Structures are given as structure tokens and as C-alpha cells.
């Protein structure tokens, strides 16, 4: 009888947990657009290297497309750390096409001030000036980039956050232009794939994008365009990383 009682209790707890997560998910689906402007909004994704868009931001790109945003991309380096810059530029354009961003909406900055190098700290003011000019020239309503942790801890990623945060804090962004940052998570959560969804829901991010099976396949196709980067550990990343299925973001 004690065993039966424990089994019943465990079943009740699991059922309650399922109902709770399902309720949170339904609320989150209805709130996916909360704080986001509707169709026609011009959104700018700011990344540091070719492949950032597919490795980290694919759910956001495809989620914004669902909301009929016009997404453009600003990449601050050609990813030339191993002298593969020209190859990686082409791969980025191919990946963006898979994700629905045309080449005309992709800007790659290949400048000595912004080398692909985790040992180099990009100048915050210079990065901020480039972002601001791009925002103003293209009538951007929403800027999306990394948070302070940069997902992987890469200094180039964190430099983008510092620059965009300074623009926001100093009130230099045009009126009505919002900023979303991609939430960094622990190493364990990073490789839980969809199993991280309950934790995301319980932490209630401002915006949450979750890919369907078809969209996840699209994200993987985009990542496959970065052939020069598909070493064995990145192939495992594509299979297990929650960033290939889930993006939780916060407004500044």
C-alpha cells in the first residue's frame, strides 16, 4: 500500500508539474508579441562573427519573421581568426538566405578595429557609433544582440552588449527604438535542448521564441552553410544546444 501511495503521489506531482508548465507555455505563446511591435517593424540583429546568427539567434530570427518583422543583420567581423574571412563572409550570406534574410539586408564590417579575437577588447564607443549610424540610416525599431555574458563568454560578444547598453542608457537611440538581449544560461542548461523549456517558462523572460520541428530543421540547414566551422564539437552543439531551439530574451 505504501508503494501504491508513493506512486500515486509521484503521479500527482508530475501531473501538476505538466499542467503548470502547459499553463505557462500557453500564456507565453499569447505574450510572444508582448512589447514587440507588429508587422513591418524593422529589426536589427547585431552579431560579432559569421555563424552567430545560426548558432545563437536562429529562434529569434524565425520568431520575428512569424511576427512579420523585417529583419536585417549587422556583423562586426568577417571571422578571420584562422584566416578564413572571405570563406566565412560567403557562408554568412548563405546562412542568412536560409533564415529568410536577403543579402541586401546583411552588412559585414571587416575593419581592423574589430578583429575576430577573444583576446582583443573592442572599443565600446566605436562599436556604439557604428550601431547607431546603422540604426538611424535604416529606421530600425528594434535592436537584438547578446547580453553581458555573451552566451559563450566571448569578449567580442560582450563588447556588443556594452555598446548597445551605453546607447540605451545615454538615450542616444531614436525614440521608439527598443533593445532585446539574448539571455546567457549555465553550461548545463545550454545543452538541454527543449528540456530547458520548463526552466525558461518559470523564469518568465520578456520574450520567448521556441522553434517548431520544421523551423528547427531550417535553423540546422542555416548552420550547415557554415561548412568551415562544422568541427565535431559544433555538430554536437547543433544537436543538443537549447539555442538551436529556444531563445529567451530581455528588454533593456
**72 pLDDT above the threshold of 90:** yes
Residue 4 belongs to a domain: no
Q: Give how far Cα 200 sits from Cα of 121, 129, 204, 210, Å.
A: 31, 33, 6, 10
Percent with pLDDT over 70 in the chain: 85
Residue 204: the pLDDT is 82
Residue 196: the pLDDT is 92
Residue 191: the pLDDT is 95
Q: Give how far Cα 221 sits from Cα of 47, 52, 72, 149, 252, Å.
A: 19, 14, 19, 26, 31
Which of 117-121, 197-201, 203-207, 221-225 reaches the highest mean pLDDT? 221-225
Residue 39: the pLDDT is 66
Residue 156 CB contacts under 8 Å (≥ 6 apart), including other chains:
48, 49, 76, 77, 114, 116, 117, 118, 120, 122, 150
Residue 177 belongs to a domain: yes
Rounded mean pLDDT of 241-248? 96
Residue 108: the pLDDT is 94
Rounded mean pLDDT of 225-251? 93
Residue 102 belongs to a domain: yes
Residue 43: the pLDDT is 96
Residue 38: the pLDDT is 67
The domain that contains 152 carries what CATH number?
A: 3.40.50.10320
Rounded mean pLDDT of 157-162? 96
Percent with pLDDT over 90 in the chain: 69
Range of the domain at 138: 32-251
Residue 117 belongs to a domain: yes
**234 pLDDT above the threshold of 50:** yes
Rounded mean pLDDT of 68-80? 92
Rounded mean pLDDT of 146-166? 95
| pLDDT band with cut points at 50, 70 and 90 for residue 84 | confident
Rounded mean pLDDT of 162-180? 95
Residue 54 belongs to a domain: yes
CA nearest to 50, candidates 102, 104, 105, 107: 107
Residue 15 belongs to a domain: no
Number of domain units in the chain:
1
| pLDDT band with cut points at 50, 70 and 90 for residue 42 | very high
Residue 22 belongs to a domain: no
Residue 2 belongs to a domain: no
Rounded mean pLDDT of 184-193? 94
Residue 26: the pLDDT is 44
Amino acid at each position: 500500500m505504501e508503494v501504491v501511495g508513493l506512486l500515486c503521489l509521484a503521479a500527482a506531482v508530475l501531473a501538476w508539474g505538466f499542467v503548470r508548465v502547459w499553463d505557462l507555455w500557453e500564456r507565453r505563446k499569447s505574450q510572444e508579441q508582448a512589447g514587440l511591435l507588429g508587422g513591418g517593424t524593422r529589426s536589427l540583429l547585431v552579431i560579432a562573427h559569421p555563424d552567430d546568427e545560426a548558432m545563437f539567434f536562429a529562434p529569434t530570427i524565425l520568431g520575428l519573421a512569424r511576427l512579420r518583422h523585417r529583419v536585417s543583420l549587422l556583423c562586426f567581423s568577417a571571422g578571420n581568426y584562422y584566416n578564413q574571412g572571405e570563406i566565412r563572409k560567403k557562408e554568412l550570406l548563405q546562412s542568412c538566405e536560409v533564415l529568410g534574410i536577403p543579402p541586401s539586408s546583411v552588412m559585414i564590417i571587416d575593419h581592423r578595429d574589430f578583429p575576430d579575437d577573444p583576446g582583443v577588447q573592442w572599443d565600446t564607443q566605436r562599436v556604439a557609433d557604428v550601431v547607431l549610424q546603422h540604426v538611424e540610416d535604416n529606421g530600425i525599431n528594434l535592436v537584438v544582440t547578446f547580453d553581458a555574458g555573451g552566451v559563450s563568454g566571448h569578449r567580442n560578444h560582450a563588447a556588443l552588449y556594452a555598446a548597445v547598453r551605453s546607447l540605451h542608457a545615454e538615450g542616444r537611440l531614436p525614440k521608439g527604438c527598443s533593445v532585446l538581449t539574448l539571455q546567457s544560461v549555465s553550461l548545463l542548461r545550454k545543452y538541454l535542448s527543449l528540456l530547458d523549456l520548463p526552466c525558461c517558462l518559470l523564469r518568465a523572460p520578456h520574450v520567448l521564441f521556441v522553434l517548431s520541428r520544421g523551423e528547427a530543421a531550417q535553423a540546422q540547414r542555416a548552420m550547415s552553410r557554415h561548412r568551415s566551422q562544422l568541427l565535431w564539437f559544433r555538430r554536437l552543439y547543433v544537436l543538443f544546444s537549447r539555442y538551436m531551439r529556444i531563445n529567451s530574451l530581455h528588454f533593456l
